[in-house]
Structure 1
């Protein structure tokens, strides 16, 4: 049986499963668990690189399993020994509808079912703040997974981060090459309070021990004021010692491209993924990553909780100075 969180036991006795451990947030969460003295098992795909995993997840047990197969998770992971909690950092790689349904919904719900069947007490789910206003396939998939977790009867913590540093760093190299910073509209349409992988990992881990973070939906951002895209661009130029140069992309043009691709995809189904990517781009160009006030329909920085100490601009400086690299991979559409 799983341990009772009310028992006076050291964290070394608490056995935690991490799903999605090979991503940047999964790795940061694993590191945070180990720093905090937890016993960690990371579930990875069978085709993951063993050497890299041993380096990135050093100190954790690594188990290969098909995350899309609930029965496989039960037999390969959960049935071998009792676990106290699961932290799921699963996320579709690019937001395409097929991938979103497979990972953000089916795989996540399967993991919830497997955890419940094997007596796991607590399930921490990494979601996204954009599910407040769902218009995209991956948002609907994440929201459905959230609902399945709430209905499961498990103790849950659903964490909805605002924005990630890597998602806001795609133009650093562009500006370093002397090109202007791209803005949608006037660059003041949206705002966010981005959070680092390290701070988010620590927050996910804090859900295990803090009773106030259980059975709640938890929006969370990083420290500091809400940043508009213009503010991000201005500070990037300042760090590079250059005069700000911006190129404005009309939002109407983005809507037009999305509309054309959407219409075309009804005739040519192979265009459906491109149409969804266009909708994703438009969404992030026009919607803030802050808590949404359901009564006013406005985003509210004051209502958006924050945590940690890492700031986006410190991250920009570290990238510029060669102290870190931007790992965006297939998430570049975000």
Structure 2
């Protein structure tokens, strides 16, 4: 019998300290806010921003997390993690919302795998009992470098002896927000094929942050791999476009992009990438785009050989369509950063 067979929840009388990695991302920010609301002592370990714009952004995010402690260093460097992050202090849990920014093979293995191995080793050495990992539902059918890197660390975490919670969310709102400006300008909504090949149950940053924070005290989420989506039915890209056109009062217009065209582009980039490393990274980005164009972000039923919305758990209150309504009314849509496809 292993030590993590009987996970011990954090007790109300304990200081309940949490080290959060990836706090400056939108999901990390939402997770930090959920932790603070629950009364946890939250330490956010982040990289310092040297540019004026970076410092301003970091300052705004810090102000949104009143009550949290910010420490600065390099979360991907083992010495900095121990010295600047953990600072040789006691923590009950580590939560990582950290992820590679580009998805390129080198970045994925450096961040999604190796940096997390360093964090896990430091956590174990300092007596941390619980490690919560933000992963991704797409690792169910791994074809890409970042998926293999995430899965490799998931295996290390499961075998570590610590209590673990591996959260695999479906699509994020910010990943599905990019075409609103296209439609406002009178352009068609881009779809792959007929726009009904894939579907997802998107989850908001707020609801996902709430779910991640809830993993600390909900023993039913301990030592579990946890696929999670937002509320409501699964929706296809075509349904997303139709709803946006309806909100904008415009006649629906769609432009289909053949998946085969992406294969041609990927093939060409692969050839050039053998000579120019930077192009190889672009080829991987194209493969990522193709993956999301052809695979649903739902639980994969291996026995039935299909994605199943009914098997995909839901959490929270806000739907993607709720968010669309707010963005059309003028609320700023999220900054997609590397999540941009269109």
TM-score of the superposed pair, with normalisation by structure 1: 0.95
- Give yes or no for the alignment of 1:30 onto 2:32: yes
For 1:134 and 1:6, the matched residues in 2 are separated by 32
Query: Of the candidates 233, 242, 258, which is equivalent to residue 234 of structure 1?
Result: 242
Q: 1:62 aligns to what?
A: 70
For 1:304 and 1:134, the matched residues in 2 are separated by 18
Secondary structure of 2:114's counterpart equals helix
Q: 1:20 aligns to what?
A: 22
Query: Of the candidates 306, 319, 328, which is equivalent to residue 336 of structure 2?
Result: 328
Instruction: Check conservation: 1:17, 1:83, Cα contact below 8 A.
Output: yes
Q: 1:249 aligns to what?
A: 257
1:75/1:163 Cα in 2 relative to 1: closer, same or farther (>3 Å)?
Answer: same
Instruction: Check conservation: 1:292, 1:299, Cα contact below 8 A.
Output: yes
Q: 2:3 aligns to what?
A: none
Instruction: Check conservation: 2:10, 2:16, Cα contact below 8 A.
Output: no
Moved more, 317-326 or 81-90: 317-326
- Give yes or no for the alignment of 1:122 onto 2:130: yes
Q: 2:195 aligns to what?
A: 187
Q: 1:268 aligns to what?
A: 276
- Give yes or no for the alignment of 1:172 onto 2:183: no
Moved more, 133-142 or 259-268: 259-268
Count of matched residue pairs: 330
For 1:22 and 1:33, the matched residues in 2 are separated by 14
1:258/1:142 Cα in 2 relative to 1: closer, same or farther (>3 Å)?
Answer: same
For 1:172 and 1:299, the matched residues in 2 are separated by 27
For 2:210 and 2:203, the matched residues in 1 are separated by 11
Query: Of the candidates 147, 158, 178, which is equivalent to residue 150 of structure 1?
Result: 158
Secondary structure of 1:219's counterpart equals strand
What is the CA distance between 1:153 and its match in structure 2? 1.0
For 1:311 and 1:7, the matched residues in 2 are separated by 31
Query: Of the candidates 87, 91, 101, which is equivalent to residue 95 of structure 2?
Result: 87
TM-score of the superposed pair, with normalisation by structure 2: 0.93
What is the CA distance between 1:101 and its match in structure 2? 1.4
Gaps of 5+ in 1: none
1:227/1:10 Cα in 2 relative to 1: closer, same or farther (>3 Å)?
Answer: farther
Gaps of 5+ in 2: 1-6
1:329/1:7 Cα in 2 relative to 1: closer, same or farther (>3 Å)?
Answer: closer
For 1:181 and 1:326, the matched residues in 2 are separated by 19
Q: CA RMSD in A?
A: 1.5
What is the CA distance between 1:72 and its match in structure 2? 1.7
For 1:192 and 1:236, the matched residues in 2 are separated by 16
